[in-house]
Amino acid sequence: MNPEQQIHTGRATGHVRIGVDTGGTFTDIVAVDTITGALATTKTPSTPANPAEGFLTGVDKILGQIGATPADIESISHGTTVATNQLLEGKVGDLGFITTEGFEFVLEIARQSVPDGYGNSYFWVKPPRIVPADRVRTVGGRLDFRGNEIRPFDDESARAAVEAFQAEGITTLGVCLLHSYANDAHERAMRDVIWEIMPEAVVSLSSQVLREYREYERSMTTLVDASVKPKVGAYVANISARLAELDPGRHIPFSIMRSNGGVLSAEEVVHQPITTVLSGPAAGALGAAVIAAKAGYPSVVTCDGGGTSTDVTVIQDSQPSLTTEGRVGPYPSRIPMIDVVTVGAGGGSIGWISPEGTLKVGPQSAGADPGPLCYRKGGTEPTITDAHLVLGRIPPHLLGGEIPLDIEAATSGMTELAAKLDLELEACAAGILEISAWNQANALRQVTVKRGLDVRDFPMVTFGGSGSLLACRLMDILNLPAVLVPPNPGNVSAYGLLTVDVRNDYVQTYVARHDSLDLGAVDAIYAELTGKAAEALRLEGFADSDHVFERTADLRYFGQAYEVRVTCPDGEITAKWADSVEAAFHAAHHALYGYDFAGRTDQPVEWVNLRATGIGPIPRPEIREIPVAAGDVASAVIETRRVFYDSWMPATIYDRAKLGAGHRVSGPAVVQEFGSTVPVHPGFAAEIDRFGNLIITREGASA
C-alpha cells in the first residue's frame, strides 16, 4: 500500500496525528488522538541554526507528554519558515536565469510598481535583481501567445548557455521562455539539455511553477522557486531521515503546509518548494477560522503574534481570503496563497532610536537566539517582551516556568534606552508597546480597509505567543467589537495543521472575450486541469470517490490590467454556465470597486485565466465544550501584583486553566497560561465561553 494512503484512508498503523509549527522563537506542537479525540499541546524553543532539531525535540516532547511512542504516530503535518526566512534574509544563492533570446532584461524592466508610494523621495530605485545581469543566458526559438511555434528551439544556443553556467559553477537554474504557459515543449527541451550537460543541476521551469501569462511575474516566481529548492529539499530530507530513525522499518507519513491553505506530502513538496513560503501563517489563519466558526464568529480578522513578526488576515464566512499577488520580502510570487500581511512586531522585535532621534520598533528582531534582554542569552537591545515584563504585564517566566525571565536585565536595558530618549522608564516601555500596537493596527487595516471592508465589523481572533498581549489596545485603536483568544493560543498554528485538507492548484492562461468564448476550448482546459489535480490526489492516497474539485476563473473588463477571480459553478460548460460566471464577475467587481458595467456592450468582459483546485478532505479534530464553572472566579486567582496600565495599579492575576465556562474577569487583570498571557486593561472584561475561548469586550458590552 502507498504509505500516503495510510494518512487518508483511515488504515494508518498509528492513532496520533501531530502538527508542528516552527516559528522564529518557539516551535509549537499539537497532537490529537484519533481514537479518543483528546488534544495535547506543548512548545519548545526553536533552533534557528538547524530548525530540524527544534522540530524533533518537539515531537519527542509531545509523545512523552501523552505517553505515546513513535509507533503510535499516524501522521505529522508541519508548518515551516525555512523558505520564508531564506527569502526575507535575501539569501537567494547563486542563481542562473535562462530566457528567450531578446528578453534578457525582463527582470530589469520589471513593473512600475512603487511600494507605499514615493514618500518624500524624488526618486525610487528598484530593488536589486534576484539574478545579476551577467548570469542571464538566452536561447533561440519562439512561440506565439497561443503556443504555436514561430521559430524552432535552438539546441546550439541552449548548450552554449548551459556550458557557460557550468564553467561558472552555477547549478541552480530558473527557465522562463516566452509563452511557455501555452506550450511547454521548448522549456522541456531546455531542461533535457541542462540535465544532459549538468545532471546535478537544480532546475525550475515556469511552465511547471506558474502556467499563466505576464513574463516578469512568471520569471520571478520561477526564480524564487529555484532559489529555495536546494534548502527546502535538504531540510525535508533531513527531517524525513530523522523520522525514519524514530521508528525503523516504518514510513511515518509527513506532510508540509502550503501557502494556499492545504498540505502536501514531503515527497511532493520538494518539487514545489515555493508553495511553502507562507506555510506557518496559513496554518494559523485556518486554525483560527475553525475555532472562531465553532464559537459563532464566521467572519473575523486574525492577529498571529510570534517572536519575530505578527501576521494578520481576514476570514469571511469561515474562509480566509486568497491572493495570487503576494510577495515574500521584495520578491513577487503569483502562486495562490492566503492573503496575509506581515509586520515586524513580534515579541522579539527591538526598540531602537532612528537617526532623527525618535523611538522605533522592529522590524529587526532578537528572535530566539540571542533573544530579548530578559532571556540572558546575549541580547543587547530591549524588545517588546522586555517592555511587557518591565510593565508587569507578563510573569517573570515563560512556558510555565521552563524559561525564567530576568526582570533586572530588562529594566537595565530599558532604562538605558529611556535615558537616550529623555523619557521615564515606564514611558519608554509603554511607547514601545504603543508603536507596536499601531504597527499591528495598520497591518489589520491593510487586509480590511484597503480591501473595501470595514474593520469595525469584524471581531478579532488573537493567537501566537505574543498575539494577545495588545488585544485591548487594538480594540481601542480599531474600535473592534470583541476579541476571541482561543485556549492554548500559542499553539493555534500547530492546531491548524491538523484541520487542513490536501490542496493542489493548477492554472492555464486562456485570453478570450466573453462574446467570442470557445466553450469547447474552455471545457478541454478545465478537463486537463482537473485531470492533473485528480492524479496529484491519487499520488497522495485519496480514492477517486473522495476527490473534491473547485473551478475558478480570472476575468476583467477589456482593457483593464488586472483581473477579478470568481468561482465557477459545477456542471456542464454551456453558454448558460459561462453567462453565470460573467454575472458573478460583475457582482464581484462591484463589491470590490463600487461599480460594474453589467449590461453594457461597450465594455465587454474578457476571460484571462482558468483555474482548478483538487481537494483531498482530512478529518478535523473535534472542538469540545468545557465544563461550566463550578465555583466562584476567585478560585482561579494566583495573586495580585502591580501592573502598568497608563499608571501603576494593582491587577488580579488569574490562572486560565482554572477558569470554567461562564467565568468573567474584569480589568485591571492578567490571565496567564502555559504558552501565552492576556492583559485585560481597565474598562475591559473577559468571559470564558462554552468552548474555553476567552471573549474580551468593553465593560458592560455583550460578548
Which tens digit of pLDDT belongs to each residue from 482-493?
999 999 998 898
Domain assignment of residue 318, yes or no: no
* β-sheet bridge partners, residue 51: none
Query: Would you state the pLDDT for residue 300?
Result: 96
Look up residue 630 and give its three cell numbers.
463550578
Distance CA 147, CA 161 (A): 23
* β-sheet bridge partners, residue 138: 99
The answer to whether residue 629 scores a pLDDT higher than 50 is yes
Same domain flag for 217 and 98: yes
Percent of the chain at pLDDT exceeding 90:
61
Look up residue 216 and give its three cell numbers.
516578469
CB 216 within 8 A of CB 210: no
Same domain flag for 75 and 199: no
Reported pTM: 0.82
Query: Would you state the pLDDT for residue 123?
Result: 52
Same domain flag for 105 and 208: yes
Give the confidence band of 124 by pLDDT, cuts at 50, 70, 90: low
* pLDDT per residue as tens digits for the range 248-293: 888 888 999 988 888 888 888 888 898 888 887 888 999 999 999 9
Residue-range definition of the domain harbouring residue 23: 5-86+236-270
CB 144 within 8 A of CB 112: no
Domain assignment of residue 467, yes or no: no
Same domain flag for 140 and 249: no
Neighbours of 516 (CB within 10 A): 7
First to last CA, the chain: 50
The alpha carbon of residue 423 and the mean position of all alpha carbons in its chain are separated, in whole angstroms, by 37
Rg (CA), the chain: 26
Amino acid sitting at position 618: I
Average pLDDT, the chain: 89
Domain assignment of residue 419, yes or no: no
Same domain flag for 224 and 266: no
CB 35 within 8 A of CB 218: no
Amino acid sitting at position 227: S
Query: Would you state the pLDDT for residue 114?
Result: 58
The answer to whether residue 431 scores a pLDDT higher than 50 is yes
Domain assignment of residue 227, yes or no: yes
Domain assignment of residue 574, yes or no: yes
Q: What is the CATH number of the domain that holds 241?
A: 3.30.420.40
Give the number of domains in the chain.
4
Domain assignment of residue 622, yes or no: no
Percent of the chain at pLDDT exceeding 70:
95
Same domain flag for 200 and 158: yes
Give the confidence band of 334 by pLDDT, cuts at 50, 70, 90: confident
Beta strands in 591-702 (DSSP E): 605-616, 637-645, 647-655, 664-666, 669-672, 677-680, 684-688, 694-698
CB 93 within 8 A of CB 171: no
DSSP character at residue 531:
H
In this prediction, residues 421-425 reach a mean pLDDT of: 95
Distance CA 518, CA 532 (A): 22
Amino acid sitting at position 486: P
Same domain flag for 519 and 603: yes
Q: What is the CATH number of the domain that holds 542?
A: 3.30.1490
Same domain flag for 148 and 120: yes
In this prediction, residues 458-465 reach a mean pLDDT of: 93
Same domain flag for 147 and 19: no
Look up residue 34 and give its three cell numbers.
484519533
Q: What is the DSSP string of 100-128?
A: ETT-TTHHHH-----TT--TT-S--PPPP
Same domain flag for 227 and 247: no
In this prediction, residues 571-588 reach a mean pLDDT of: 96
In this prediction, residues 602-630 reach a mean pLDDT of: 91
Query: Would you state the pLDDT for residue 12?
Result: 47
Give the confidence band of 160 by pLDDT, cuts at 50, 70, 90: very high
Neighbours of 34 (CB within 10 A): 17
Give the confidence band of 76 by pLDDT, cuts at 50, 70, 90: very high
CB 294 within 8 A of CB 623: yes
The answer to whether residue 325 scores a pLDDT higher than 80 is no
Query: Would you state the pLDDT for residue 50?
Result: 85
Domain assignment of residue 443, yes or no: no
